[in-house]
Amino acid sequence: MKFMQPEKKFVFYGMILLAGLLWIGASAIPSSASTTQEISAPQTGFLAPDFSLTTLDNQPVRLSELRGKVILLNLWASWCPPCKAEMPALERTYQAYKDQGLVVLAVNSTIQDTRSAAQTFMEANQLTFPVPLDTQGEVTRLYRVQSLPTTFFIGPDGMIREVVIGGPMSEALLRSRVENLLKEVR
């Protein structure tokens, strides 16, 4: 740039500035597309995306119908070691708080697993919470799950309060998160 004439420098820098402004304008999200509490996004601070699935015992479950309760949404598979390791803590937490408004939805990623393997695992470990089956990968895609287990702590207002990717989660962590969310129900 040292050898460029002052007028050419001005034009050159002006073109760079104009290109930058055009890029900012072209890549900006329109205000009509910004998120509000009515639009779902699978991350902390946003409304949990709604879904409808059928459980292992052939019962329909729709997330939006559980509003007013604390939801622990856990996506798992029977072959996943950390998933298996945290299931006893999930069950103990569920038993301790289900009468206070906790719902555990252990969504089996059946697109990566089988119904029979999930059923066998649940029975062998005497797990009693509902197990919706994600046979088409709908919830896995909707919640943008990249690894198993992934757990979403959802408040009674339907908002995601925390996302835990990986595991196993300790019972102490589960209980502390659930207890904080249950304070909102009372």
The set of long-range contacts for 52-59, using a CB threshold of 8 Å and a minimum separation of 24, is: 53/107, 53/132, 53/133, 53/134, 53/138, 53/139, 54/132, 54/133, 55/130, 55/131, 55/132, 55/133, 56/108, 56/115, 56/118, 56/119, 56/122, 56/130, 56/131, 56/133, 57/130, 59/130
- pLDDT of 5 reads 75
- pLDDT of 35 reads 44
- pLDDT of 7 reads 76
> pLDDT tens, position by position, for the chain (186 residues)?
566 677 777 787 777 777 766 766 666 545 444 444 444 558 888 999 999 999 999 999 999 999 999 999 999 999 999 999 999 999 999 999 999 999 999 999 999 999 999 999 999 999 999 999 999 999 999 999 989 999 999 999 999 999 999 989 999 999 999 999 999 986
Tell me, what DSSP letter sits at residue 32?
Answer: G
Q: Domain 52-182 adopts which CATH fold?
A: Glutaredoxin (3.40.30)
- pLDDT of 186 reads 67
Beta bridge partners of 106: 74
Handedness of CA 87, 91, 93, 99 (dihedral sign): positive
- pLDDT of 10 reads 76
- pLDDT of 183 reads 93
- pLDDT of 48 reads 95
